[in-house]
Amino acid sequence: MAACKLGEHSLFSYYDSSVINKILNKCCRVLELMLNIISHKTVFSIRNIKQTNHLEQRFPNWG
């Protein structure tokens, strides 16, 4: 991620780099977790849609 590399940027050189790296690492972890949750939910919902479509094709009078 490009955002995770901000701590190495010269704009942040006047701050304590270890503090910035800790903050950025936390932010990146949160972002990764959110992305993982979102992608997992999306895949899960797509699978559910495919399963229900499959059932409707097999049993047209179902539901």
In a domain, 11, yes or no: no
Q: What is the average per-residue pLDDT within 38-63?
A: 70
Query: Is the pLDDT confidence value at 13 over 70?
Result: no
Domain count, the chain: 1
Greater confidence, 32 or 16? 32
In a domain, 25, yes or no: yes
Predicted TM-score (pTM) above 0.95: no
**Token pair recorded at residue 8:** 């190495």
Q: b/e string for 29-50 if b means 16 or more Cβ within 10 A?
A: eeeeeeeeeeeeeeeeeeeeee
Contact 50, 43 (CB under 8 A): no
Q: 54: domain range?
A: 16-58
In a domain, 1, yes or no: no
In a domain, 24, yes or no: yes
In a domain, 49, yes or no: yes
Q: What is the average per-residue pLDDT within 19-34?
A: 85
Q: Residue 6 CA to chain centroid, in angstroms?
A: 19
